Amino acid sequence: CHLIHYLRLSHHLIVLNYLICTFDKLKSVSSEDIKITDAVFDGVEVRVFEPPARGDESLKRSVVYIHGGGWALASARTSLYNNLCRIMAESLNAVVVSVEYRLVPEVHFPEQYHDALRATKHFLQPHVLAEYSVDPSRIAISGDSAGGNLAAAVCQQLSKDEDLTVRPKLQALIYPVLQAFDFNTPSYQQNMNMPVLPRYVMINYWIDYFNGNYDLAHALLINNHTALDVGQALSFRGRLNWTSLLPSSFKKNYQPVVQATGTAEIIQKIPALLDVRAVPLLADDETLWAQPKTYVLTCENDVLRDDGAMYAKRLENAGVDVTLDHFHDCFHGCMIFTVWPTDFSAGVQTRNSYIRWLDENL
């Protein structure tokens, strides 16, 4: 993929996504009971999963789901996410709306965020909910990885929208990516070379999302963009102090990496690094206070473990009812790997725990 990119034949992410979708065609996921339809919500493609009516039941609960893939890969239509959303619809007897937001390199931040927000707001309109027989008081916003990032950012914006008459009851974030402020949290240090999502790959996803230059990768890795002399970052530092936000079992013996002098030009070149629509963990306490009841799933073998744990703690400090569901023997991305030949016990374990929480709280 990178060779093709280097030869300027195509962007490496386009090639990688093509390979993923080609492999995905080898799998077949079907359902006799769940009605699966594609629709367009305010210009954004979505896939809707509807379970059959049960007896005299009039309204169903619902989940708006936003898929992961580093804002650049996968699709609501791939079998992995198709299978997850189908099982959610069956297990919860819920209408699941899977958002097909546009990807890097076609678009960059904030377009993915706008797509997710537009689709969600469209669905939350009373007449649309009525069309799908959804109970307005029983709606969750959810997503994994980069989709968890978008779900958190959408939830924050919805809490500020005074024109909304319907708001989500819950948010459920699966190993979410929530900050680009500190690439040396304990989980980033511990799992820097962990397969599936090494630290340098996550940094490159951020650079691609922001349409930045890969030449900045090393400076980001050593936190030059948030050094003590970078004035734009100072006001956010207290919101992401992992020494006070993480439990000792996560901190272990790792030490903070805080540069005294850094490169302020990075923030000037990529101001989105400090944009809360891209990095929801940097939101102020007033915004966090307004968030709905929250579920955060984290995995030990994941550079993003501490992103989720810190967000859970900040929400808890703000008075939000939070469940942090941590899996000691699982890895980033595992929840969608439940279909042969990648049918891992870690996937089934995390998926069942996630669906159980939704069932009990939605």
In a domain, 159, yes or no: yes
pLDDT number for residue 336? 87
The closest of 331, 38, 17 to 175, measured between CA atoms, is 331
Q: For tokens 């990529």, what's the residue? A: 270
CATH number where 35 lies = 3.40.50.1820
**CA–CA separation, 145 and 168 (whole Å):** 20
Q: How many domains does the chain have?
A: 1
In a domain, 240, yes or no: no
Catalytic residue among 62, 79, 145, 159: 145
Rg (the chain; Cα; Å) = 20
In a domain, 286, yes or no: yes
In a domain, 70, yes or no: yes
Taking 3-state DSSP, the helix, strand and coil percentages for the chain, each rounded to the nearest 5, stand at 45, 15, 40
pLDDT number for residue 196? 87
In a domain, 33, yes or no: yes
- Report the helix count and the strand count for the chain, using DSSP H and E: 16, 8
**Is residue 225 flagged as an active site residue?**
no
Residue numbers of the domain that contains 39: 1-180+273-361
**Is residue 145 flagged as an active site residue?**
yes
**Is residue 127 flagged as an active site residue?**
no
**CA–CA separation, 330 and 352 (whole Å):** 13
Catalytic residue among 24, 144, 208, 302: 302
Helix (H, G, I), strand (E, B) or coil at 351: helix
In a domain, 324, yes or no: yes
pLDDT number for residue 10? 40
pTM: 0.93
The closest of 190, 147, 179, 195 to 354, measured between CA atoms, is 147
In a domain, 228, yes or no: no
One DSSP character per residue, 165-176 reads S---SEEEEES-
In a domain, 267, yes or no: no
Across 202-210, average pLDDT: 97
Q: How does residue 1 score in pLDDT terms, banded at 50, 70 and 90?
A: very low
